[in-house]
């Protein structure tokens, strides 16, 4: 059935009922949220790992009709959560056609809408606004002005309409009034200048804004939500105390609490389906990539105030797949199967997402990234092979044998080289890392075993991918310990 197109038709429809006509946006969100809770539907699609922490607090805030702030480090899905709020809005709502601030036809607040309804009466035109158009997002930057957020006088509008500047019709509305009857999200709130933050006081407490000293009030109906990074309080700006006091709920976000949750997020967000060869990611390779981020978050040489974004493993797995894709095409393989070598090829995706402390700057980002990969490989192998005996592998290298792992080598050629290392393939089979019939997986698994032994300083790995015996402690250069006894430059 078509929606009413005039005010008269709207009055005769179900939308004239007080429960709809007079409902605020916070009441609308609350009502739809309660319905979703009652039906056990997912609250926020695509948000993983917050089911027991962030989401319950957010639900409580919305049910309490609070404006709120999400406080957390980079890459913690703050913006995703805010954008998911739009799914709790009605599919569409009626507005006065042509209104810049989404006037409610039953309670218009702008002069334009009031004048139109006075002149046209029951024939006043009605438009319909969908839920996505009711979500307005702004990134706070130091150059944002009060005119951007609230509004200002528009002399051109006055000239074209033949209005005096004192006329309300000469106002150019900012983003906040244009979000009326919807959600206004402001990212990185501390970056907003203090005097602009002051401009938000009225809307948060009294529900209105005043523009350029005009003797008018706009009683806006809007949910205000913010994001901020704790680092910003000291590094770039701060949230002024009176504004913080007006924010109903402060909700802390966090990184995935388990590797498994992190892998689920990375699997959801990463671009892994390529338009050429099929992609198959060994689960232990995906785990190594995820553990790189977990290791980085606990490393004392990496700035914890900045955090290590969940975007790191997402970017790393995408680059690792791309590197494996190149190799598959060059050696004529029929599928793309990334391995540990491909994680090393993704170093730019690791170093670019770490803020280093002084000690880390001395050591260098690439050095730390290599170590993180080795530690992640060791933790992944250790979780699958507790108590497994690797002495025969180590002894084979100790007597002077070596393996040169070239990046542009097929899985079959790699596996042929690994067959010469005593018990290496048996370790792969006994730990269940890969089926005996799966050449690509077994090659990747053998490399995982060797990387774990490098991390334990039982063998070495050079910058060119050559595995050999570990250098005696007294013969190691000082920086060799950072690479598990290897010769990485």
Which pair of tokens denotes residue 113? 């809408």
Percentage of residues of the chain with pLDDT beyond 70: 90
pLDDT of 101 higher than 50: yes
Domain over 7-252 is classified CATH 3.40.50.970 = no
C-alpha span between 39 and 59 (Å, rounded): 15
Identify the pLDDT of residue 104. Answer: 94
Q: Give the highest mean pLDDT range of 57-66, 303-312, 362-371.
A: 57-66
Query: What is the chain's mean pLDDT, rounded?
Result: 87
Give residue 20's pLDDT band: very low, low, confident or very high (50, 70, 90).
Answer: confident
How far, rounded to the nearest angstrom, does the alpha carbon of residue 285 sit from its chain's CA centroid?
Answer: 22
SS3 category, 392: helix
pLDDT of 269 higher than 50: yes
**473 to each of 248, 371, 469, 478, 480, how far by Cα in Å?**
58, 18, 12, 10, 9
pLDDT of 207 higher than 80: no
pLDDT of 475 higher than 70: no
C-alpha span between 199 and 196 (Å, rounded): 5
Supply angle C-alpha 349, 351, 352, rounded to 5. 70
| Higher pLDDT, residue 137 or 169 | 137
Tokens 């596996």 belong to residue: 415
State pTM to two decimals. 0.85
Provide the pairing of β-strand 171-173 with 151-153. Answer: antiparallel
Identify the pLDDT of residue 436. Answer: 86
pLDDT of 449 higher than 90: yes
Instruction: Find the mean pLDDT for residues 384-412.
Output: 87
User: How many residues does this entry show for the chain?
Assistant: 489
pLDDT of 212 higher than 70: no
pLDDT of 89 higher than 90: yes
- Give the single-character DSSP code of 150: T
Identify the pLDDT of residue 479. Answer: 42
Which H/E stretch holds residue 382?
A: helix 365-384
State phi, psi for 4 to the nearest 5 degrees: -55, 140
- Is-contact 378 291, C-beta < 8 A? no
pLDDT of 156 higher than 70: no
Instruction: Find the mean pLDDT for residues 105-115.
Output: 91
pLDDT of 163 higher than 80: no
Instruction: Find the mean pLDDT for residues 303-307.
Output: 84
Residue-wise pLDDT tens digits, 139-155 = 988 888 888 888 877 66
What is the DSSP code string of 56-98? HHHHHHHHTT--EEEE--TTSSHHHHHHHGGGGS-SEEEEETT
**Dihedral of alpha carbons 146, 149, 153, 157, sign:** positive
Instruction: Find the mean pLDDT for residues 374-395.
Output: 90
SS3 category, 113: helix
pLDDT of 179 higher than 50: yes
Identify the pLDDT of residue 395. Answer: 93
Instruction: Find the mean pLDDT for residues 51-56.
Output: 94
Residue-wise pLDDT tens digits, 324-355 = 999 999 999 999 999 999 999 999 999 989 98
State phi, psi for 460 to the nearest 5 degrees: -120, 165
pLDDT of 409 higher than 90: no
| Higher pLDDT, residue 163 or 67 | 67
Identify the pLDDT of residue 19. Answer: 81
- Give the single-character DSSP code of 333: -
Identify the pLDDT of residue 275. Answer: 87
Identify the pLDDT of residue 458. Answer: 92
**297 to each of 111, 257, 292, how far by Cα in Å?**
54, 11, 9
SS3 category, 153: strand
C-alpha span between 471 and 398 (Å, rounded): 9
C-alpha span between 383 and 99 (Å, rounded): 61
Percentage of residues of the chain with pLDDT beyond 90: 57
pLDDT of 30 higher than 50: yes
3-state SS record for 135-195: EEEEECCCCCCHHHHCEEECHHHHHHHCCCCCCHHHEEECHHHHCCCEEEEEECHHHCCHH
Identify the pLDDT of residue 474. Answer: 53
Which pair of tokens denotes residue 182? 């919807």
Identify the pLDDT of residue 369. Answer: 93
State phi, psi for 137 to the nearest 5 degrees: -125, 140
Identify the pLDDT of residue 146. Answer: 83
Instruction: Find the mean pLDDT for residues 25-34.
Output: 95
Identify the pLDDT of residue 304. Answer: 84
Give residue 481's pLDDT band: very low, low, confident or very high (50, 70, 90).
Answer: very low
| Higher pLDDT, residue 477 or 395 | 395
Identify the pLDDT of residue 1. Answer: 57
Identify the pLDDT of residue 213. Answer: 64
Give residue 41's pLDDT band: very low, low, confident or very high (50, 70, 90).
Answer: confident
Instruction: Find the mean pLDDT for residues 31-41.
Output: 93
Identify the pLDDT of residue 229. Answer: 86
Give residue 164's pLDDT band: very low, low, confident or very high (50, 70, 90).
Answer: low
- Is-contact 488 370, C-beta < 8 A? yes
- Give the single-character DSSP code of 101: T
How far, rounded to the nearest angstrom, does the alpha carbon of residue 486 sit from its chain's CA centroid?
Answer: 35
| Higher pLDDT, residue 151 or 131 | 131
Which pair of tokens denotes residue 204? 């948060």
- Helix, strand, coil distribution of the chain in percent, nearest 5: 50, 15, 40
């Amino acid at each position: 059935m078509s929606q009413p197109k005039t005010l008269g038709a709207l009055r005769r429809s179900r939308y004239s009922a007080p429960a709809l006509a007079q409902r605020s946006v916070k009441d609308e969100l609350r009502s739809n949220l309660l319905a979703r809770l009652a039906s056990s539907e997912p609250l926020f699609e695509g948000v993983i790992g917050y089911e027991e922490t962030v989401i319950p607090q957010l639900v409580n805030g919305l049910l309490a009709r609070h404006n709120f702030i999400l406080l957390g480090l980079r890459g913690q899905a703050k913006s995703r959560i805010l954008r998911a709020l739009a799914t709790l809005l009605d599919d569409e709502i009626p507005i006065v056609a042509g209104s810049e601030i989404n006037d409610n036809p039953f309670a218009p607040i702008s002069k334009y809408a009031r004048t139109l309804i006075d002149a046209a009466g029951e024939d006043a035109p009605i438009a319909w606004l969908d839920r996505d158009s009711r979500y307005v997002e702004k990134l706070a930057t130091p150059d944002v002005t009060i005119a951007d957020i609230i509004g200002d006088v528009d002399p051109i509008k006055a000239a074209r309409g033949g209005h005096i500047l004192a006329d309300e019709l000469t106002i150019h509305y900012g983003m906040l009034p244009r979000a009326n009857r919807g959600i206004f999200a402001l990212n990185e709130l501390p970056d907003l200048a203090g005097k602009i933050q002051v401009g938000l006081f009225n809307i948060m407490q009294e529900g209105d804004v005043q523009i350029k000293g005009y003797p008018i009030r706009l009683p806006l109906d809007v949910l205000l939500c913010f994001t901020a990074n704790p680092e910003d309080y000291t590094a770039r700006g701060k949230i002024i105390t009176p504004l913080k006091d007006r924010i109903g709920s402060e909700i802390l976000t966090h990184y995935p609490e388990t590797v498994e949750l992190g892998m689920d997020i990375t699997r959801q967000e990463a671009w892994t389906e390529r338009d050429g060869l099929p992609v198959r990611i060994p689960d232990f390779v995906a785990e190594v990539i995820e553990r790189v981020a977990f290791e980085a978050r606990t490393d004392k040489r990496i700035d914890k105030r900045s955090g290590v974004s969940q975007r790191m493993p997402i970017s790393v797995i995408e680059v690792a797949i791309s590197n494996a894709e190149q190799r598959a095409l060059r050696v004529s393989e029929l599928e793309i199967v990334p391995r540990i070598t491909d994680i090393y090829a993704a170093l730019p995706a690791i170093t670019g997402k770490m803020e280093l402390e002084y000690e880390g700057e001395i050591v260098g980002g690439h050095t730390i990234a290599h170590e993180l990969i080795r530690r992640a490989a060791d933790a992944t192998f250790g979780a699958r092979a507790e108590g497994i005996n690797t002495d025969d592998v180590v002894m084979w290298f100790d007597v002077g044998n070596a393996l040169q792992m070239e990046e542009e080598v097929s899985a079959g050629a790699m596996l042929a080289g690994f067959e010469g290392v005593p018990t290496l393939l048996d370790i792969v089979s006994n730990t269940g890392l890969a089926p005996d019939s799966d050449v690509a997986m077994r090659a990747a698994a053998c490399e995982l075993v060797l990387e774990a032994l490098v991390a334990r300083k039982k063998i070495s790995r050079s910058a060119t991918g050559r595995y050999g015996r570990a250098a005696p402690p007294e013969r190691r250069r000082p920086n060799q310990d950072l690479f598990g006894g290897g010769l990485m430059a």
